[in-house]
A and B are shown apart, each in its own frame.
Chain A
């Protein structure tokens, strides 16, 4: 039996058992970690596997959240229908952006800036859509929090924790098999050297489109989760560039292109952020901005001294594959 599967099994059991020992606070922290881990994994499909840097992933979170949220808000239809609408919309958006970019040979920095432009464009557009609440935000009715109403995705925090755990596990497994599939090898070939991949007969345009579509679909699910977990949506928050950056910090810190990196990175960053908040509160240094300064400094240190992320360095110590 391979070592990494043993570790993963232990981790899975621990995560399943966590709610038994964790209070409401730690449960919410764990849910947040899983949210970032899953979304980071989704982004990783595009950047880590296929090498396409998106800095506008908040676009898919936002559109997914608003699509499912609006259907629930206006028509009272639960997220299981809204999810498909959200996914379809996000895949369509991703394909449009991908088509425009890849058709015209836009890559690298330019592609990244195009993704930012689309996210910002959408943010300002949503600010002026009164049907969706505009800048004042959209608020979903918070009803019954004690019983598991899976049909409407309404329930206690525990339900959100387990659904996020399930999503993260599925994404992890999916990516594990994907990396070993034909698509995974094509993507990695494109990431390493697009011209060489093309010369080998890979239809790079089609496979890059596939990566964008899959990543957008996965990210839209985070959006749906976000809408029903937090119940309030504001364009300037959900579409902001800060959100896009927040989403990709996990995989970047954890290790781009690795399977476990996004999960590990999300845990490190969320715990770090909470730890800094607590430490500063204990010291009485509650100046606005001070937390983010520390956060930025840690990020700076990781980027400078561990360019491939933290996880590959740890995996080496544990003598397992990253």
Chain B
């Protein structure tokens, strides 16, 4: 096996991993602030992928252009989901929140099956088959653009939390629920806002992913598990951790697919998850 092949696979893994990372970032932000684990995360990702394929089929809209409207729509949907369904569950026990989101996930994945059927759908653009050549290294154009979009979205989110007033308010809600209430923040509104932001992340990641893989309904639960693995490996609630976790999982999947067998690739992700949970339960970049 040549070094070039391995290098190619690793680069592809890193680039796909960045898109995974953006998806996981959405989960991490939601958990970090709202303290609810979104068990419907991968299902939301899959809905975004379907949205990208539909917009492409109907208007020949490039998924990169579809990102903005889909993200806006997802923000509204996420806001509504948190404000309408999840906010009343904030004070309920964990298993109760879990069951709520499991029910949402069941409805979502099967509604997709009803509407779109079990057949795979995809987006076909010319540049998906093209690649950049640097020496013996080939980089798929679509993959590189997708990773770029993920990085831009992640950076925008990062700046939002760091510099904007709303972002600071959300961080205050995450740090101290009671304290945030005392200073007069409408915590539930910010929770809904955060869920909307997390959903928008998933929307961008889904549109980017639609360029790389064919979409079918069972991808939903698969991506949910993947997002969990990534955020736990990176550290729940840590934004850079989510991106790092995404890249790690992307590379480990790619390498496992190359060296062992593609069907065993997620076994390595779960193995990594178990190791991290045992040795560093707060995740690689998480804080206790």
A307 & B267 in contact (Cβ 8 Å cutoff): no
B103 & A241 in contact (Cβ 8 Å cutoff): no
- Which residues from chain A sit less than 8 Å from chain B, CB to CB? 47, 53, 55, 100-101, 104-106, 108-110, 112-114, 116-118, 120-121, 124-125, 127-128, 135, 241-242, 245, 252, 256, 287-293, 295-297, 299-300, 303-304, 307
Closest A residue, CB atoms, query B288: A105
How far in angstroms is the closest Cβ of chain B from A309? 10
- In the bound assembly, the distance between CA atoms of A100 and B217 in angstroms comes to 34
Report B-chain residues with C-beta under 8 Å of the C-beta of A303: 96, 99-100, 103
Contact among B95, B107, B271 for A300, CB-based, below 8 A: B107
Closest B residue, CB atoms, query A288: B113
Residues 253-288 of B at the A interface (beta carbon under 8 Å):
261, 263-264, 266-267, 270-271, 273-274, 277-278, 281
Verify if B92 is at the interface (C-beta below 8 Å from A). Answer: yes
Verify if B142 is at the interface (C-beta below 8 Å from A). Answer: no
Report B-chain residues with C-beta under 8 Å of the C-beta of A252: 95, 99
Verify if B37 is at the interface (C-beta below 8 Å from A). Answer: yes
- In the bound assembly, the distance between CA atoms of A165 and B271 in angstroms comes to 38
Report A-chain residues with C-beta under 8 Å of the C-beta of B37: 109
A241 & B99 in contact (Cβ 8 Å cutoff): no
Q: What 1/0 flags go to B92-120 for Cβ under 8 Å of A? A: 10111011101111110111111001100
A287 & B114 in contact (Cβ 8 Å cutoff): yes
- In the bound assembly, the distance between CA atoms of A125 and B266 in angstroms comes to 10
Verify if B17 is at the interface (C-beta below 8 Å from A). Answer: no
- In the bound assembly, the distance between CA atoms of A304 and B111 in angstroms comes to 20
Report B-chain residues with C-beta under 8 Å of the C-beta of A292: 106-107, 109-110, 113
Interface centre among B104, B106, B225, B266 (most CB of A within 10 A): B106
15 contacts between A and B (CB under 8 A): A53-B95, A109-B37, A109-B94, A117-B270, A117-B277, A121-B274, A124-B263, A124-B266, A124-B270, A256-B95, A288-B114, A289-B217, A300-B104, A300-B107, A307-B92
Mostly helix, strand, loop or mixed at chain A's interface?
helix
Nearest 7 A/B pairs, CB to CB: A289-B113, A296-B106, A296-B107, A289-B110, A292-B110, A124-B267, A300-B103
How far in angstroms is the closest Cβ of chain B from A251? 10
Question: With contacts A47-B95, A303-B100 known, is A293 near B114, CB below 8 A?
Answer: yes
- In the bound assembly, the distance between CA atoms of A105 and B266 in angstroms comes to 26
Report A-chain residues with C-beta under 8 Å of the C-beta of B232: 110, 113
Report A-chain residues with C-beta under 8 Å of the C-beta of B281: 104-106, 110
A108 & B94 in contact (Cβ 8 Å cutoff): yes
Report A-chain residues with C-beta under 8 Å of the C-beta of B102: 245, 299
- In the bound assembly, the distance between CA atoms of A256 and B93 in angstroms comes to 12
Question: With contacts A53-B95, A114-B274, A288-B113 known, is A121 near B267, CB below 8 A?
Answer: yes
How far in angstroms is the closest Cβ of chain A from B276? 10
Verify if B203 is at the interface (C-beta below 8 Å from A). Answer: no
B110 & A117 in contact (Cβ 8 Å cutoff): no
Verify if B221 is at the interface (C-beta below 8 Å from A). Answer: yes
A127 & B100 in contact (Cβ 8 Å cutoff): no
- In the bound assembly, the distance between CA atoms of A112 and B39 in angstroms comes to 12
- In the bound assembly, the distance between CA atoms of A47 and B114 in angstroms comes to 34
- In the bound assembly, the distance between CA atoms of A110 and B45 in angstroms comes to 22
Verify if B211 is at the interface (C-beta below 8 Å from A). Answer: no
Report B-chain residues with C-beta under 8 Å of the C-beta of A124: 263-264, 266-267, 270
Verify if B228 is at the interface (C-beta below 8 Å from A). Answer: yes
